[in-house]
């Protein structure tokens, strides 16, 4: 990554190079430099960049989606995911996350948030984390329901 952006997501910062990796992660989220040269400091402002490999947040999002029993669409060639966001969230976090990737090789080519009230926009780390939480909650609820 260049000096104009800094890798950002808390998951990558916590585990920048897992023990079994031959090289460090390349985070899928960045902080942009503002016009005055300062950096954004609010993690929710970190937006997706296609220059990534094995980003911990993207991996957690894909894993949570892969475990979701209510998948709506999953590309037959594993190249696209359309992931539901929390329908009970406010309009900024509702809608869908669309990911494109090549199989499970660790790189996500594109990640956009699509909703009803705005044009598609880059995925932010805040929305990715909120969606992970939503999918994990839904999985727990499904498991509890299945035990009844």
pLDDT tens digits, 85-111: 887 776 677 889 999 887 677 889 999
Residue 6 has pLDDT above 80, yes or no: no
Reading phi first (left if > 0) and then psi (alpha if -120 to 50, else beta), residue 16 is in: alpha
Residue in this structure with the two tokens 């080519």, named with its chain if needed: 109
The tokens for 75 are 């590309």
pTM over 0.85: no
Nearest to 47 by CA among 90, 16, 4, 15: 4
Mean pLDDT of 14-20: 86
pLDDT in the model for residue 3: 42
Number of other residues whose CB lies within 10 A of the CB of residue 38: 8
Residue 78 or 57, more confident: 57
N- to C-terminal Cα separation, the chain: 50
């Amino acid at each position: 990554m260049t000096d104009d952006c800094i890798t950002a997501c808390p998951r990558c910062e916590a585990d920048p190079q897992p023990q079994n990796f031959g090289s460090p992660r390349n985070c899928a989220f960045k902080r942009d430099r503002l016009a005055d040269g300062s950096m954004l400091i609010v993690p929710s402002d970190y937006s997706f960049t296609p220059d990534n490999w094995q980003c911990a947040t993207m991996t957690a999002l894909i894993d949570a989606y892969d475990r979701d029993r209510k998948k709506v669409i999953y590309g037959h060639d594993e190249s696209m995911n359309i992931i539901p966001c929390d329908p009970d969230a406010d309009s900024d976090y509702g809608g869908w996350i669309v990911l494109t990737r090549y199989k499970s090789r660790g790189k996500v080519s594109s990640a956009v948030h699509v909703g009803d009230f705005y044009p598609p926009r880059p995925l932010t780390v805040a929305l990715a984390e909120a969606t992970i939480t939503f999918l994990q909650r839904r999985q727990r609820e499904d498991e509890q329901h299945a035990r009844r």
